[in-house]
Amino acid sequence: MAKSTVLSCIQPSGELHIGNYFGAIANWVKLQDTYRCIYGIVDLHAMTMPYNPEQLRQNTEQMVIDLLACGIDPAKSILFIQSLVPEHTELNWILSCVCSFGDLTRQTQFKDKSSQIENQTGGDFISAGLFAYPVLQAADILIYRADYVPVGRDQEQHLELSRDIARRFNNQFGPFFPEPKVLSTETPKIFSPADPDKKMSKSLGPKHYIGLFEPEDSVRAKIRTAVTDSGVLLPSVTMSPGVENLFEMLKACGKLDEAATLLKDYETGELKYSRLKDAAATALVELTEGLRTRRAEISGNSAAVMKKVRAMSEQAREIAGETLRQVRALVGLPAKN
């Protein structure tokens, strides 16, 4: 029986942090054993925000290396670079003609990212690409006729738009695209060690995130200074966000027995937060050291790595090209050959 197809993509935004890893990438690695997985590095999406061209190139290559270091296996999955598969942009135009202006105005992330640009640059230039990129995101998914997309809550609205576009296309031109479903998986929610009420994010500054390949001294320093109890708790809350965040980090690293023991001590009032911090830091160091070693091995042969990802991007083009061939026939465009 053929495996269902899972599609997921990531922007080449520079250094990965443990929130990215536990929230998405570790799950990608697990999914490879069950599904036909296609993973993309979407460099075209990165162009919707202010960027430096050379930095974009470097970030894209680095993301390839980082994902391979994390366990994305070319023998099990396809890992492609979006701009090397131009069929995405052709399907993007076709789908933009079956997506309404009103649908795009209701996408909440456009407002959030517009505000972010204004705060960062002090200017008021917002690209049309930022407004329309949910259609390209739909093309990324639909061109592989994906059955499932693992997404977080902040992306559910965009996946629903992809489903709406697929439905409208099918109604207008005949049944063709499957409506992609959310692949719900249990993923830890990791917050900033400096402000555990906020999601871990590089945009908040260095003290708010722990890099996935960060050196031991830096990891331990950030956990040592992590916020624990930050004030009086509400009657309905039994654990402060900071303490809960440290427990989540420990469990996400697979230290379930150690977390259970420390939790018992917490419940009896015997836990010193220094013990919890030491345990969380040690678990994270074990993770980051292993990943750093693996990344160093892969980086030493970067030319071969990029040759491999170009070959995988050609595999993606074959799949995307067949989809586009059928789409062109359905919408009334001439065959290319």
Distances 305 to 79, 91, 150, 297, 312 between C-alpha atoms, Å = 11, 28, 26, 11, 11
Confidence of residue 185 (pLDDT cuts 50, 70, 90): confident
* pLDDT over 60 at 233, yes or no: no
**Phi and psi at residue 332, in whole multiples of 5°?**
95, 20
Domains observed in the chain: 5-187+302-331 (3.40.50.620), 202-296 (1.10.240.10)
H/E run at residue 40: strand 36-41
Average pLDDT over residues 295-315: 95
User: How confident is the model over 16-71, as pLDDT tens digits?
Assistant: 999 999 999 999 999 999 999 999 999 999 999 889 999 999 999 999 999 999 99
* pLDDT over 60 at 103, yes or no: yes
Does the reported pTM lie above 0.75? yes
Tell me which of 76, 189, 202, 308 is the catalytic residue.
202
Confidence of residue 252 (pLDDT cuts 50, 70, 90): very high
Average pLDDT over residues 148-157: 76
199 is catalytic: yes
Tell me which of 76, 189, 199, 308 is the catalytic residue.
199
Average pLDDT over residues 267-279: 92
Q: Are 196 and 245 in contact (CB under 8 A)?
A: yes
Distances 66 to 34, 100, 267, 270 between C-alpha atoms, Å = 22, 37, 39, 40
- pLDDT above 90: percentage of residues in the chain: 74
Q: Are 192 and 200 in contact (CB under 8 A)?
A: yes
From CA 126, how far away is CA 296, in angstroms rounded? 38
DSSP symbols for 173-224: H-S-S---EE--------B-SS-TTSB--GGG-GGG--BTT--HHHHHHHHH
Confidence of residue 159 (pLDDT cuts 50, 70, 90): confident
From CA 235, how far away is CA 270, in angstroms rounded? 21
* pLDDT over 70 at 77, yes or no: yes
From CA 297, how far away is CA 304, in angstroms rounded? 12
Position 189 scores a pLDDT of 87
* pLDDT over 60 at 236, yes or no: no
202 is catalytic: yes
In the numeric block, which tokens belong to residue 157? Answer: 């609205």
Average pLDDT over residues 272-284: 95
Tell me which of 113, 189, 207, 308 is the catalytic residue.
113
Q: Are 142 and 162 in contact (CB under 8 A)?
A: yes
* pLDDT over 90 at 238, yes or no: no
* pLDDT over 60 at 313, yes or no: yes
113 is catalytic: yes
Confidence of residue 98 (pLDDT cuts 50, 70, 90): very high
